């Protein structure tokens, strides 16, 4: 129930995260809204100057959140971290395909650092946690479950802008989850993790990734960020089914990431490049990241 869950520590967040002490230009916290992404997209169009790079909108309760393809995503009040970041990339629009992947990298690092869970990325915009051998083996998921999702929407707001929405299930109980393929940090074994702590870590991790990407002028490969994403991406090396936007399905092995962040899938000896689609991991083995530790001593950039 709402009364059992603590509100965000707004004063502390502002003190830590707003410039000059922190990286954010603006931090708005609202009690409830249907969708933080929809609000930020509308705000960018109505008042572009009021929402510079590094602005964030956070909701205590998001009542009608949206995922990819317009899918609904709902949570109880104060049970999840629901927020949207404003990015104003200076690189070419062709590089924007990296944004959900880079946001996913930041989310993975933040959740490992704060919750100690084995978070990994599923291309292009889901964060998974393996619940271990005691969890039911679900087709296409194994014992992995979705703990966070990302939705990036480009906006023309006196120049290119992208609203990057991130939702993290923090302390929902099993009976509060909308689908059996979802989980929360609490159900994944995290103890004493609150939304304020997760948000601080998320902002720090995203700021680090954003700075590196900007310094490289959107070159994810040259900056090393592409390798960092690949290191935490559980999709790579897997046999996958990819449901494409036209309704067809591509079945093959995920071999790597293209220079623009697209997924490279080998089908009968030929590599196909996928820019958009829903990925299903065919093999049920739990995802394992290859290089990065499960719990960092410090979030990069913190």
Mean per-residue pLDDT, 137-142: 92
Least confident of 189-193, 265-269, 280-284: 280-284
Mean pLDDT, the chain, as a whole number?
91
pLDDT at 299 exceeding the cut of 80: no
Q: Which residues in the chain belong to E strands, given as ranges? A: 26-33, 55-62, 65-66, 72-73, 80-87, 119-122, 126-130, 144-156, 160-169, 239-243, 249-257, 263-267, 270-274, 278-281
Check residue 180 and give its pLDDT.
95
Going by DSSP bridges, is the β-strand pair 144-156/278-281 parallel, antiparallel, or unpaired? unpaired
The alpha carbon of residue 114 and the mean position of all alpha carbons in its chain are separated, in whole angstroms, by: 15
* pLDDT score for 75: 87
| Relative orientation angle of helices 225-232 and 99-115, to the nearest 10 degrees | 60
What are the extents of the domains in the chain? 2-230, 236-281
Pairwise pLDDT comparison (203 vs 297), residue with the higher score: 203
* pLDDT value at 8 more than 50: yes
Do 2-230 and 236-281 fold alike per CATH? no
Q: What pLDDT, on a 0 to 100 scale, did the predictor assign at position 278?
A: 93
Q: Is the pLDDT of residue 183 over 60?
A: yes
Q: How confident is the model at residue 74 (pLDDT cuts 50, 70, 90)?
A: confident
Determine the pLDDT at residue 297. 29
pLDDT greater than 50 at residue 1: no
Percent of the chain residues past pLDDT 90, beyond the cut: 86
The mean pLDDT of 63-71, rounded to a whole number, is 67
65 vs 24, higher pLDDT: 24
CATH superfamily, domain 2-230, is Bira Bifunctional Protein; Domain 2 (3.30.930.10)
256 pLDDT exceeds 60? yes
Q: What is the pLDDT of residue 51?
A: 98
Quick one: pLDDT at residue 65?
Answer: 73
Residue listed under structure tokens 């992947």:
101
**pLDDT grade for 289, boundaries at 50, 70 and 90:** very low
CATH 2.30.30.100 is right for the domain spanning 236-281: yes
């Amino acid at each position: 129930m709402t009364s059992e869950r603590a509100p965000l520590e707004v004063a502390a967040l502002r003190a830590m995260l707003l410039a000059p002490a922190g990286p954010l230009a603006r931090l708005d916290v609202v009690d409830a809204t249907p969708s933080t992404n929809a609000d930020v997209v509308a705000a960018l169009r109505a008042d572009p100057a009021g929402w510079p790079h590094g602005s964030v909108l956070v909701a205590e309760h998001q009542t009608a959140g949206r995922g990819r393809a317009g899918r609904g995503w709902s949570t109880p009040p104060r049970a999840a971290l629901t927020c949207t970041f404003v990015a104003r990339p200076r690189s070419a629009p062709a590089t924007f395909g990296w944004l959900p992947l880079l946001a996913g990298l930041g989310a993975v690092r933040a959740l490992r650092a704060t919750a100690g869970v084995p978070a990994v990325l599923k291309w292009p915009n889901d964060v998974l946690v393996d619940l271990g051998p005691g969890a039911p083996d679900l087709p296409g998921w194994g014992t992995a479950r979705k703990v966070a999702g990302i939705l990036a929407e480009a906006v023309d707001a006196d120049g290119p802008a992208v609203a990057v929405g991130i939702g993290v299930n923090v302390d929902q109980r099993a009976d509060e989850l909308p689908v059996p393929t979802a989980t929360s940090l609490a159900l994944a074994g995290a103890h004493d993790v609150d939304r304020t702590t997760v948000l601080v870590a998320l902002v720090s991790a995203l700021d680090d990734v954003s700075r590196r990407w900007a310094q490289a002028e959107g070159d994810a490969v040259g900056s090393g960020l592409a390798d960092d994403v690949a290191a935490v991406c559980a999709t790579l090396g897997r046999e996958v089914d990819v449901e494409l936007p036209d309704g067809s399905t591509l079945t093959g092995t995920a071999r790597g990431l293209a220079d623009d962040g697209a997924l490279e899938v080998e089908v009968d000896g030929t590599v196909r490049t996928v820019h958009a689609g829903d990925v299903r991991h065919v093999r049920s083995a739990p995802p394992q990241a290859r290089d990065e530790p499960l719990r960092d001593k410090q979030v990069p950039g913190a």
